[in-house]
Amino acid sequence: MLLVNQIRENFETVLAGLQKRNFPNAESILQEVIQLDDQRKSSQTQRDQIQAESNSISKQIGMLMKEGKREEAEQAKARTAEIKSQIKELDEQNSQAEESLKALLYTIPNVPHSSVPVGKAAEDNEVVLEHGTIPTLSEDKLPHWELIKKYDIIDFDLGVKITGAGFPVYKGKGARLQRALINFFLDEAIAAGYYEVQPPILVNEDSGYGTGQLPDKEGQMYHATADNLYLIPTAEVPITNLYRDVILSEEDLPVKNVGHTPCFRREAGSWGAHVRGLNRLHQFDKVEIVQITHPDKSYEVLEEMSQHVQGLLKKLELPYRVLRLCGGDMGFTSALTFDMEVFSAAQERWLEVSSVSNFETYQSNRLKLRFKGADKKTQLAHSLNGSALALPRIVAAILENNQTPDGINMPKVLHPYLGFDKI
Band the pLDDT of 80: cuts 50, 70, 90.
confident
Residue 365 annotated in ligand binding:
no
Please indicate, yes or no, if residue 219 is contained in any of the structural domains.
yes
Residue 13 annotated in ligand binding:
no
Please indicate, yes or no, if residue 115 is contained in any of the structural domains.
no
Per-residue model confidence (pLDDT) at position 74? 73
Residues in CB range of 89: below 8 A, 6 or more apart: none
- Going by DSSP bridges, is the β-strand pair 195-196/370-372 parallel, antiparallel, or unpaired? unpaired
Closest among 56, 75, 55 to 65, alpha carbons compared: 75
User: Within this chain, do residues 146 and 84 fall inside the same structural domain, yes or no?
Assistant: no
Please indicate, yes or no, if residue 117 is contained in any of the structural domains.
no
Please indicate, yes or no, if residue 423 is contained in any of the structural domains.
no
Whether the CB-CB separation of 340 and 325 falls below 8 Å is answered with no
- pTM reported for the whole predicted model: 0.92
CA dist., res. 146 & res. 241, Å (int): 40
CA dist., res. 326 & res. 123, Å (int): 9
Tens digits of per-residue pLDDT, 13-56?
Answer: 999 999 999 999 999 999 999 999 999 998 888 888 888 888 88
Average pLDDT, the chain: 94
Peptide bond into 389 cis (omega under 30): yes
Per-residue model confidence (pLDDT) at position 271? 60
Please indicate, yes or no, if residue 360 is contained in any of the structural domains.
yes
Please indicate, yes or no, if residue 116 is contained in any of the structural domains.
no
Residue 366 annotated in ligand binding:
no
Per-residue model confidence (pLDDT) at position 268? 67
Residue 404 annotated in ligand binding:
no
Residue 354 annotated in ligand binding:
yes
Per-residue model confidence (pLDDT) at position 115? 97
Tens digits of per-residue pLDDT, 85-134?
Answer: 888 888 888 889 999 999 999 999 999 999 999 999 999 999 999 999 99
User: Within this chain, do residues 92 and 127 fall inside the same structural domain, yes or no?
Assistant: no
> Which of these three, 80, 106, 132, is where a domain ends?
106
> Which of these three, 73, 106, 139, is where a domain ends?
106
User: Within this chain, do residues 132 and 278 fall inside the same structural domain, yes or no?
Assistant: yes
In the chain, % of residues over pLDDT 70: 98
CA dist., res. 48 & res. 355, Å (int): 47
User: Within this chain, do residues 275 and 412 fall inside the same structural domain, yes or no?
Assistant: yes
Residue 306 annotated in ligand binding:
no
Q: What is the mean pLDDT of residues 359-369?
A: 98
User: Which amino acid would we find at residue 350?
Assistant: W
CA dist., res. 296 & res. 408, Å (int): 46
User: Within this chain, do residues 91 and 135 fall inside the same structural domain, yes or no?
Assistant: no
CA dist., res. 247 & res. 22, Å (int): 35
Per-residue model confidence (pLDDT) at position 86? 86
3-state secondary structure 349-396: EEEEEEEEEECCCHHHHHHCCEEECCCCCEEECEEEEEEEEEHHHHHH
User: Within this chain, do residues 79 and 188 fall inside the same structural domain, yes or no?
Assistant: no
Tens digits of per-residue pLDDT, 377-396?
Answer: 999 999 999 999 999 999 99
Please indicate, yes or no, if residue 29 is contained in any of the structural domains.
yes
Per-residue model confidence (pLDDT) at position 68? 76
Band the pLDDT of 270: cuts 50, 70, 90.
low
User: Within this chain, do residues 100 and 126 fall inside the same structural domain, yes or no?
Assistant: no
User: Within this chain, do residues 200 and 61 fall inside the same structural domain, yes or no?
Assistant: no
Residues in CB range of 59: below 8 A, 6 or more apart: none
User: What is the number of domains present in the chain?
Assistant: 2
> Which of these three, 106, 132, 166, is where a domain ends?
106
Q: Give φ, ψ of 10 to 5 degrees.
A: -130, 45
Q: What is the CATH number of the domain that holds 153?
A: 3.30.930.10
Q: What is the mean pLDDT of residues 163-176?
A: 97
Q: Is the pLDDT of residue 178 over 80?
A: yes
User: Within this chain, do residues 251 and 343 fall inside the same structural domain, yes or no?
Assistant: yes
Residue 355 annotated in ligand binding:
yes
Residue 385 annotated in ligand binding:
yes
- How buried is 100 (Cβ within 10 angstroms: 0-12 exposed, 13-18 middle, 19+ buried)? middle
Residue 176 annotated in ligand binding:
no
Per-residue model confidence (pLDDT) at position 219? 87
Tens digits of per-residue pLDDT, 303-340?
Answer: 999 999 999 999 999 999 999 999 999 999 999 999 99
User: Within this chain, do residues 248 and 176 fall inside the same structural domain, yes or no?
Assistant: yes
Please indicate, yes or no, if residue 113 is contained in any of the structural domains.
no
Band the pLDDT of 273: cuts 50, 70, 90.
low
Q: Is the pLDDT of residue 260 over 70?
A: yes
User: Within this chain, do residues 358 and 386 fall inside the same structural domain, yes or no?
Assistant: yes
204-219 in b/e form (b: 16+ CB < 10 A) is eeebbbbbbbbebbee
Of residues 61 and 17, more confidence is placed in 17
Band the pLDDT of 269: cuts 50, 70, 90.
low
Residue 288 annotated in ligand binding:
yes
CA dist., res. 56 & res. 78, Å (int): 14
Instruction: State which residues form the domain around 282.
Output: 122-418
Q: What is the CATH number of the domain that holds 77?
A: 1.10.287.40
User: Within this chain, do residues 378 and 403 fall inside the same structural domain, yes or no?
Assistant: yes
